[in-house]
């Protein structure tokens, strides 16, 4: 585990990783939709103008073209905001990507409510559920900028469709440079025997913060970074249920169809134990990211409280 002392934006890490991919692999092409500065794909566009294609605000067309490029042997990276990439283009993702196993990489920024003052319509809180509902699509939500770089490189190597969720603001760095990222394998961030906090994306740093505070109350928390939502690391979830007997899930996403749903499915089928979710249950308004997290009960304090509740049920 690294330190929580510094921060960086996952979208910045994505832009830099794309540049290096472009140098290494001439098959990599990038497709944008009028948000290239915000998604940081403009960096690729400036260096590789002949391998960058902007279709304006036409997300369905972006996915359709990407599928065609993939069928011609290219490795297309498509980028826009989470609400547009998964919501507006869902039918194209289903028919032209998932059903034909197209080698398309959809990398969406501005996920969750920490998009902040962009407001309700721009808060992507259903994207993980939408992406996970597509058969055969690998769904990844990196916890920090360092893990984002590893995830982008792994996605480029994987033959098949991938969705990666990124964020607008800087988020805490929780890894060292030698991050051990493996698709489909949860990362143990902290050992513990009393309860397991399974977190995804931006909530990993908050889970670690809550676990640190709980240790002062003699509550020993295991923390798992479930960076890959699909395929889910069922073994890690089963082991957590068996070895700690209680689980808290933490996600900056709507409660249905995301991390809590995936964990609950595994636990109910393999080894039922008490589970408490920390997740969004409604849409949020425009506002400061940290204030929104507190108001909508997805802060480190809410993880702390959920651990107390689940232990009382164990």
Write the DSSP symbol of residue 282. Answer: S
Q: Map out the domains of the chain with their CATH numbers.
A: 7-172 (3.40.50.970), 187-313 (3.40.50.920)
Confidence of residue 176 (pLDDT cuts 50, 70, 90): confident
CB atoms within 10 A of CB 220: 14
Q: What pLDDT is recorded for position 40?
A: 98
Give the C-alpha separation, 182 to 126, whole Å: 24
Confidence of residue 224 (pLDDT cuts 50, 70, 90): very high
Confidence of residue 314 (pLDDT cuts 50, 70, 90): confident
241-282 confidence digits (pLDDT tens): 999 999 999 999 999 999 999 999 999 999 999 999 999 999
Region 42-57: mean pLDDT is: 97
Percentage of the chain surpassing pLDDT 70? 98
Q: Which of 86, 89, 167 is nearest to 130 (CA)?
A: 86
Mean pLDDT, all residues of the chain: 96
Residue 240 has pLDDT above 60, yes or no: yes
Annotated active-site residue in 16, 59, 251, 252: 59
Region 184-200: mean pLDDT is: 98
H or E element that contains 35: none
Confidence of residue 299 (pLDDT cuts 50, 70, 90): very high
Q: What pLDDT is recorded for position 3?
A: 39
Q: Is 290 a catalytic residue?
A: no
Region 198-219: mean pLDDT is: 98
Residue 237 has pLDDT above 80, yes or no: yes
Q: What pLDDT is recorded for position 2?
A: 39
Q: Which of 280, 299, 293 is nearest to 126 (CA)?
A: 280
Region 108-130: mean pLDDT is: 96
Contacts 24+ apart (CB under 8 A), 203-206: 203/250, 203/251, 203/252, 203/278, 203/298, 203/303, 204/143, 204/144, 204/174, 204/250, 205/4, 205/143, 205/144, 205/171, 205/172, 205/174, 206/250, 206/298, 206/299, 206/300, 206/303
| Beta strands across the sheet bearing 28-32 | 52-54, 28-32, 75-81, 105-109, 162-165, 138-140, 228-230
Write the DSSP symbol of residue 291. Answer: H
Distance between start and end Cα atoms, the chain? 28
pTM for the whole structure: 0.96
**Is the backbone peptide bond immediately before 241 cis, with ω within 30 degrees of 0?**
no
Percentage of the chain surpassing pLDDT 90? 96
């Amino acid at each position: 585990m690294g330190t929580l002392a510094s921060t960086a934006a996952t979208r910045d890490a994505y832009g830099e990783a794309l540049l290096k991919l472009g140098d290494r692999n001439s098959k990599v092409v990038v497709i944008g939709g009028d948000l290239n500065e915000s998604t940081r794909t403009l960096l690729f566009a400036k260096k590789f103008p002949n391998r960058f294609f902007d279709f304006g605000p036409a997300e369905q067309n972006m996915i359709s073209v990407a599928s065609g490029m993939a069928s011609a042997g290219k490795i297309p990276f498509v980028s826009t905001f989470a609400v547009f990439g998964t919501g507006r283009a869902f039918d194209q993702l289903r028919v032209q990507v998932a059903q034909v196993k197209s080698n398309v990489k959809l990398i969406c920024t501005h996920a969750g409510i920490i998009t902040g003052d962009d407001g309700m319509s721009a808060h992507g809180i259903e994207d993980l559920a939408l992406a996970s509902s597509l058969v055969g699509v690998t769904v990844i939500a990196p916890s920090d900028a360092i893990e984002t770089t590893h995830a982008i490189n792994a996605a480029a190597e994987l033959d098949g469709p991938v969705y990666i969720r990124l964020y607008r603001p800087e988020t805490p760095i929780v890894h060292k440079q030698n991050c051990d990222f493996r698709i489909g394998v949860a990362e143990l961030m902290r050992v513990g025997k009393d309860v397991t906090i399974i977190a995804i994306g931006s909530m990993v740093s908050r889970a670690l913060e809550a676990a640190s505070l709980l240790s002062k109350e003699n509550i020993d928390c295991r923390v798992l970074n479930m960076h890959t939502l699909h395929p889910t690391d069922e073994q890690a979830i089963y082991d957590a249920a068996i070895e700690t007997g209680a689980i808290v899930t933490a996600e900056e996403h709507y409660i249905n169809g995301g991390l809590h749903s995936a964990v609950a499915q595994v636990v109910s089928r393999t080894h039922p134990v008490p589970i408490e979710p920390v997740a969004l249950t409604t849409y949020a308004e425009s506002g400061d990211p940290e204030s929104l997290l507190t108001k909508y009960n997805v802060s480190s304090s809410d993880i702390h409280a959920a651990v107390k509740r689940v232990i009382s049920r164990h």
